[in-house]
Amino acid sequence: NTREDNEQVSYSEPVALDLPQIKERGKIVAITSYSPTSYFIYRGQPMGYEYELLHRLAEYLGLELEIKIAYNLDNFIEMLNTGEGDIVAHGLSITKPRKQHVDFTDYHSVTRQVLIQKKPDDWRKMKLHEIEQQLIRDPLDLIGKPVHVRKNTSYFRRLQNLSQEMGGDIDIKELEGELETNEIIKKVADGEIKYTVADEHIANLNATYYRDLDVETALSFPQRLAWMVRKTSPELRKAVNEWMAGEKKETDYYVIYNKYFQNQKSFRTRVSSKHLSLTGGQISRYDDMIRQGADEIGWDWKLLASQIYQESRFDPQIESWAGAQGLMQVMPSTANALGE
């Protein structure tokens, strides 16, 4: 057993909320994170692998979709069990410690964990065997080396198990839950940390942008990735699994996956763009105004920008058939009531 298997992690008991209550509410609330693959805003438009699949799921269920961002990835389970959201849509490994607190849907993909390390500074001038001599290829060589990962992850548990299997301790450095995997990978690329661990499909994608990274050293066997639901939501889990089984028979399901994990050119273009909310931070010409308004109401400005995109596509002159006007499509009567 790993240390975490033996620890009693404290989580709230799951609220009694299942698909009938969700349908009565009229919307499904999905918890995810800002990342270059799950959910982000590019040129003012919400995008992401999980984001697109969630829209298809909501349509299948006949529900509206609300996205809720987990700013600390360690909070996924707590947010789910307390009812802040109905499903966690993120690439999470199915592990025994997690299954003590939540249920997983059927897996949507399979990956393995790999070591993220930086190639030698002058690697372009070196021969292949010279590069290989300076990289870690045998996990045994990680004994005593510092590897930075978030604590409540399958990466952390894998490093613990690896230390036990090898009979020597890896120097596991714990990182805060606010850091998303892609951000940690960037720290390796920037030379801030020496090593980290990531799922292979995410590692390969980042390596197409950060050419100095090496992601070839495997640290695990294949692992299943899935979404999470509460243990008190068996009907929702059944419905999601039925939807997933149907999706896997459709071409669009694989087109969406390839769009975010195989199309390397598009990924490089997005990551280097000033219009990506995660890097450049510029979403629209109205960013300053949106930030000011978001600060006044205590919202995340990117979430408000996403809502404005849905309402008006950032066109302040648009007017709906019902008379709603402006970026947020506010009815004149509502504006008057608010003194506008």
Structure tokens at 170: 């890896």
Structure tokens at 122: 């002058």
What is the CA 12 to chain-centroid distance, rounded? 23
The one catalytic residue among 64, 311, 319, 340: 311
Let me know if 4 is a catalytic residue: no
List Cα–Cα distances, 124 to 49, 128, 133, 186, in angstroms: 33, 9, 14, 20
Interhelix angle 49-61/251-261, rounded to 10 degrees, is: 160
Nearest to 19 by CA among 54, 45, 58, 50: 58
Q: Are 177 and 74 in contact (CB under 8 A)?
A: yes
As a residue count, the chain comes to: 340
Q: Are 240 and 87 in contact (CB under 8 A)?
A: yes
Q: Quote the CA–CA distance of 1 and 12 in Å, as a whole number.
A: 24
Q: Quote the CA–CA distance of 334 and 340 in Å, as a whole number.
A: 9
Helices (H), the chain: 3-6, 19-25, 49-61, 76-81, 96-99, 128-133, 154-166, 181-189, 200-207, 234-247, 251-261, 264-271, 287-297, 301-312, 332-337
Structure tokens at 311: 């309402």
Nearest to 131 by CA among 15, 218, 212: 212
* Distance from the first to the final alpha carbon of the chain: 62
Catalytic residues: 311
